Each structure stands twice: as C-alpha cells, then as structure tokens.
Chains A and B, each alone.
Chain A
Amino acid sequence: MDFNFTEEQTMIRDSLARLIKDQYDFDTRRKVVASKDGWRPEMWAQFAELGLLAAPFSEEDGGLGGGPIDAMVVMEEFGKGLVVEPFLQTVVLAGGFLKAGTEAQKQDHLAALISGERVFAFAYAEPKGRYNLADLETTATKDGSGWKISGHKAVVIGAPWASHLIVTARTSGGRRDAKGVGVFIVAKDAKGVTTRDYPTVDGRRASEVHFDNVTVGADAVIGDPSDSLGLVEKVTDEAIAALCAEACGAMKVANAQTVDYSKTRKQFGTPIGKFQVLQHRMADMFIEHEQSISMTYMATLKLEEDEVTRKKAASAAKVRIGQAGRFVGQQSIQIHGGMGMTDELAIGHYFKRLTMIDSEFGNVDHHLKRYTELSAADVAVAAE
C-alpha cells in the first residue's frame, strides 16, 4: 500500500498550480466566464503544452504513461482555481471512451485530443432520464453500414466549446433496458445536429443538443453498439473519481478563505473566528475536506478493480463528497455572512461549483441507492 505521488505527478501539480496562480486568478476568471466564449482556447493550448492532456494516457496510446491518479492531481488543482476548461469532458470522459476504441479511432481522435486540437463533450443525459445512464429515448438505428441518430440530450456540459460529441443512444430494447446501449462519436457540425447554448450557474457553458436523423459511419461506434452500458458506467465512474478530486480542491480553498475571513471580520469587538460555535463548525468543515480526500483516493485507486468493487467505491465517494461539498459550501456562505452573498467575492463561486458537483453523474440519493443495491447484490453473490 502506498499513498505517495510519483515525481511526475508532483511536477504536474506544481506546474499547474503555478499556471493557475499566474493566469487564472479570480478576477481574470470572472472576466473569462462573462465573455462571449466563456473559456480560453489559449489556456487549453497551454494545458496541452504542459502535457496535462497526455498525462493520463498510456504510452501506446500516445500519452505520458500515467492514469487516473494523474487526472486526480489535475482535477484537484482545477477545483482550487475554479477552472472552467473541459478537462473532465475531453480527457477523462472522451479519453476514457477512446481508450476502449479501435486503433483507427485512437489514431484519429485520441491523437487530436492529446494535442489539444479537438475538444469533446459527453452527451448522455436526457430531459427525462435524470441520472440513469440507461434511460435513453435517443435512438440509433442501423442505416446501411452506418447509423442514424435521433433524440434530445440535456445539459451537455462543454458542448459549446466542443468539436465532437460522445453520444449514448439506444440501439435496441425498451427504455431503461441494460442491453441495447450504444456509444457514438459525432462531429458537432454533422448534418442534423442543432444546439442551444447557454451558461450554467457555476460559470461553465452547456447545450441542449438535438439529433435529427444524424448519419454516422460504422467508424463512429465505440465498443459494442448493442451492449455498451458497462463501458459507459466504467467511464462515468472514472469521471466521478475525477469530479471528487475537483470537489476536494474547491473545498480546500473554500475552507481556507472562510478561516481567513473569520480571523479578520469582527463582531461584538471580536474576530468571529474566536467564537467557539464557529470554530467547531470550521473544524467540521476541515474534517469533511479530509474525509473527501480519503474517499477520492479510495475511489481513484479502485477504478481498475472488479465491477462491483469499482461501482461501490465510486458511489461511496460520490455520496460522501456530495454531502461534504454541500456542508462546506453552505457553511462557508453562512460564516461569511452577508459578504458571502455577493458576486464579487470568490466564496460564492466555490459554493456554486460544489453545489453543481453534487448533481453531476448522480447526486447523494442516487448513489446511496446504487450503493445499497450493489451491497445487496454483493451479499447475494456471497450466499450463492
């Protein structure tokens, strides 16, 4: 057992932290988020140059030989800086799918992803599907050697910036069946793709994406088009682990800013940080952050284990971090008092990001339910 980072991972962390400090200060971020594009492609190019986009991929796939821990390191720093660029969508999610793709797909898409030329978004959720990855009304029907895709994908994070979409669609069976889920790569400029772009409450951009008989070739299919739910679950579990790391970064800064604020803000002639009731609350915030780090390590380290272990780990982490993020976010605002309600202070933005993280890829209730069902399945298997 080993909880140390490699030299490379430490280097990634340090150089990224420096970059964020120099070029991603809060005021700059605010301006970027409010700008027309809402992100900085030139920042993306710098990430590529630093090797961030290559870090989690194996050398055979053109990467630097890292893995989920490298993604964790990056995402934690992104969380600290409230970075909006779509590392999770492009590198963790699309990258996760492409790792399972064909050699041709890797050579085409993965190479362009790693170099920073191609940006992806993951179109999986639907207006009525909530967090169920198999609840799909979007369909993909056989069309000669290729496929025709039709449907509506909801809140596709990062889609306005993306050149390509990874799309889940039902190829057979009934709505919510486990079998019959396919995964497709679709160029956003393909005929029949329309988007409605909008900002999200936490400073990112998303789209409602409509597919109207969009034709793709056989080379657009990742994995088995009739049975890819397992792959979708694996990749989203990887995204959950990365998202947990982002939450840890955001909690760390939220806690630090709250502690600092409580040392300077006076009430009744005393810094509010001297009041025991607030000290205990900040101690609890600290504990929640530490427990979140532990869960992030745990989930990240179990991504390669058997399916049930991996899923339980991801769900456990998502539950704990959803709860921790809400607690830290809400208490940060409370302790900042009225100042916490103002847009000009960073703390409210950390709160908003932590709040959104809870609902991404399933909130506390969803994952508590999934964990419970997996535990029951575990017991049933053991009893056989």
Chain B
Amino acid sequence: MNLEFSPEEIAFRDEVRTFIRDNYPQELVGLGNREDLTREQFLAWHKILGKKGWSAPAWPQKYGGTGWTSTQRYIWSEENARVDALMPLPFGISMVGPVIYTFGNEEQKAKHLPGILAGDVWWAQGYSEPGAGSDLASLKTTAVRDGDHYILNGQKTWTTLAQHADWGFFLCRTDPSAKAQEGISFILVDMKSPGIEVRPIKLIDGTHEVNETWLTDVRVPVENLVGKENEGWTYAKFLLAHERSGIAGVARSKRGVERLRTIATQETMDGTPLIKTDEFARKISQLEIDLTALEFTELRTLASEAAGKGPGPESSILKIKGTEIQQRLTELTLEAVGNYGAPYARGMMHDGSNEVGVGPDYSNFSADSYFNMRKTSIYGGSNEIQRNIISKMILGL
C-alpha cells in the first residue's frame, strides 16, 4: 500500500494540468456550478475533450476510452475540479454509453458511440414516471410491437435537460403480463420523432433543469432496442450502478470546501471571521473529515474496479455519502453568507439582463444551490433505496 504518485503519474498530472489551462474555454470560467447554461456552454468543453480523446476516461479503450488507470482518472477529476471545469454531461458518457458498448449490437455501437464521445449528440434519460420514482419497476410507459416498429405511449418525468436532447434512452414495458421487473425493455429514441412532447418543470430554485416527456404513438424502429426484449431491467440496473460510481463528486466537494473556507474568512460574527469561531470552524472540519472518508472509500472502490471488479452494490455508499456531503456543503455555504442568502438573484434577472446581484458575489445563488442540491438524495435511486440495496445485496437481509 502507498499513496504516492509515480513519476509517470506526476508527469500525467502535469500534462493534464497544462492541457486544461491551455484549452479550457475562457468564457466558461466560473460557470462550473450553474445549472442554467445554454446547450453550447454545456457542450463546449466536452467537444474539446472529444477531439483530444479524453471525453470518456472510464470507457474501455476499444470503444474510445482513454485506457487510464484508476489513479489517472482520479487525477483527471481532481484537475478538472481545481478550475471548476464543466464536465461532460453524464447522460451520454456515464449512462447510455456503457450500456450500448456492453449490451448493444455492432450497428448501435457504430451509430451512437462516436456522437457521445464527440459531444455532438445530447442524450436524455427516460426512466422515472409520475407513478414510478424510486419504485422504478412499476413504470407504465408501453412499447407495443407493430411490424418492424415499436409504438411508445406514456409519460416520463424528471427528464433532465431534455429540452436540449437529440436522443433519449427509455425504459418501456413490452410485456404487460409479466412480473414488474420482467417485461421491461431498454429502447433508444430519436427525440425529434413525432409524438414526443417535452414540457418544462420549474424547480424550487427557479431553474428549468427537468421536464415532463409525453410519448403519444411514437414510432421507434425495432433496431433501437438494446439487448434483448423484456430484459431491460438488467441494463437499467447496470446503468444505475455506473451512474452511482461517478456520483460521489469528491473532487468537486473538495473544491467546495475550499470555497467555503474562503467565504468563512470574509464573513464575520461579532467582528471575528467565521472561520475563527469554534462553532463554524468545527462544522467545516467535520465536513472535511467526512469528505476524506468518502475520498478514500472511492479510491478503494476504484482500486477494486481496476482489479477487474465492476461497480457493485458498494457504489451505493458513494451515492449516499457523496450526496449527503454535497448537501451539507451547500447548507453550510448558505449558513455562512448570513443575510445575503435571501436576495433572489434569478428573480432580479430579466432575459439578457446584466444586472449585478446584491451582496458579495459568493452569496449569489447560495440559497439556490442549497435548494437545488436537495435533489441529490432523491435522484439516481433515492438514498433510502440505496440503503435497501445495501441491506439486501450486501447484508442479505
């Protein structure tokens, strides 16, 4: 056991650092923590990474991955977090991509993987439904075979950033008579298909991040079925485990703690910087300590993945702890800014407005982030579901 980077790893880190410094788009600096960007802003860095061959660090090299070791991937995420870089959206790279190269056929791989890598195609996920959230297997959207097409009908919800999407991956019921988890299929859908309607859902932080997606007699060629009909649940679970392994967000939370420390040196109470008060300083310490535990748990997970074990139910730990820490971080940040947590920056901005927020810059959006981050313990299988997974899959209860 040792924590040292080898000379090769240090050289790699320097290479990565230089590349990011020279290539990260200037106009995106400082926007890494926002949810309300344009499609172009979201994809700009992804496209640059795609050209470099670095957009999918975790994929097998055969499909356009980098072939990096787990340590190199760790270095990569640390270096990106250092500058708050906007990372490729997870829907293509972390979710549907691995499903396609693992379970898809050759045509599907050839057709879809290049666009995902390049950042040319925006994917949306069609998992949840109004009546099927954490109990995902109770989903009702149907896909009925009609010759060489499926006809899709139903309603999906929480389709993240689907307003920009070119393609979607949908879970649909193909055998209504089967038990809940059987009879589900994993289908790729061109979002421009007639019969698809995407309606915005406004969230409590004022952003339009998620949507309702209505499917009315949407015709999808049978060739868009991934893997076998009625076996989509297996692929869905595989996807969720992959999603969870990247969900810990350690590097970003470390950066968030640094930011919080800076805020706490500028905010004062009775004339004393918050960072020098026992109460607040210890809250930061506790958060940082818990984050260290998460970081080393993630490193252990990466090491066991490198030894050939895919992400297993242990990734539920990363989901639970990672999201709890992200939430506590925004909670403490809001607490740190005091009264200036109240102004509603988004409410002051009209379309195209350049209005400057009130209070210190770091206080803008601090409440919005806190409100927005409540989603993390709900999405990707709620943290309660993750505890169910641990108790069933690991503890055998």
Asked if B120 CB lies within 8 Å of chain A CBs, one says: no
Which residues of B in the span 300-357 have a Cβ within 8 Å of any Cβ on A?
300, 303, 314, 317, 320-321
CB < 8 Å neighbour of B282 from A1, A286, A372: A372
* Interface pair A297/B391, CB less than 8 Å apart: no
B19 an interface residue at 8 Å Cβ cutoff? no
A293 to B314, CA, bound (A): 14
Name which of A3, A5, A316 has the most chain B CB atoms within 10 A of its CB: A3
| A368 contact from B5, B276, B282, B303, Cβ within 8 A | B282
A190 to B281, CA, bound (A): 47
Q: Which of B2, B284, B286, B392 contacts A1 (CB 8 A)?
A: B2
Q: How many A-B residue pairs have CB under 8 A?
A: 123
User: Which listed residue (A282, A286, A375) contacts B288, Cβ 8 A?
Assistant: A375
B4 contact from A1, A319, A369, Cβ within 8 A: A1
The answer to whether A284 has its CB under 8 Å from any CB of chain B is: yes
B379 within 8 A of A: no
- A3 close to B395 (CB less than 8 A): no
B387:A284 contact, CB within 8 angstroms: yes
Residues of B contacting A262 with CB < 8 Å? 397
Q: How far is the CA of A142 from the CA of B393 in the complex (A)?
A: 64
A292 to B300, CA, bound (A): 12
A364 to B321: give the CA distance in the assembly, Å. Answer: 20
Range for the number of chain B residues in contact with chain A: 35 or more
A379 to B276, CA, bound (A): 12
Interface string of A270-300 (1 = CB under 8 A from B): 0001101001101110110011111101101
Check B5 against A1 for contact (C-beta < 8 Å).
yes
Q: Which residues of A in the span 1-23 have a Cβ within 8 Å of any Cβ on B?
A: 1-5
Could you list 26 A-B pairs, sorted by A, with CB under 8 Å?
A1-B74, A1-B303, A2-B2, A259-B396, A259-B397, A262-B397, A280-B391, A282-B391, A283-B390, A286-B395, A287-B320, A290-B297, A291-B290, A292-B293, A294-B295, A294-B296, A297-B300, A298-B293, A300-B1, A316-B293, A320-B292, A368-B282, A369-B282, A372-B278, A375-B281, A379-B265
Which 9 A-B residue pairings sit nearest by Cβ, starting from the closest?
A294-B296, A279-B391, A283-B387, A283-B390, A291-B293, A294-B297, A280-B387, A3-B303, A316-B289
A residues apposed to B, CB below 8 Å: 1-5, 69, 259, 262-263, 273-274, 276, 279-280, 282-284, 286-287, 290-295, 297-298, 300-302, 316, 319-320, 368-369, 371-372, 375-376, 379
Residues on B lying within 8 angstroms of A by beta carbon are 1-5, 9, 70-71, 74, 261, 265, 275-276, 278, 281-282, 284-286, 288-290, 292-297, 299-300, 303, 314, 317, 320-321, 384, 386-388, 390-392, 394-397
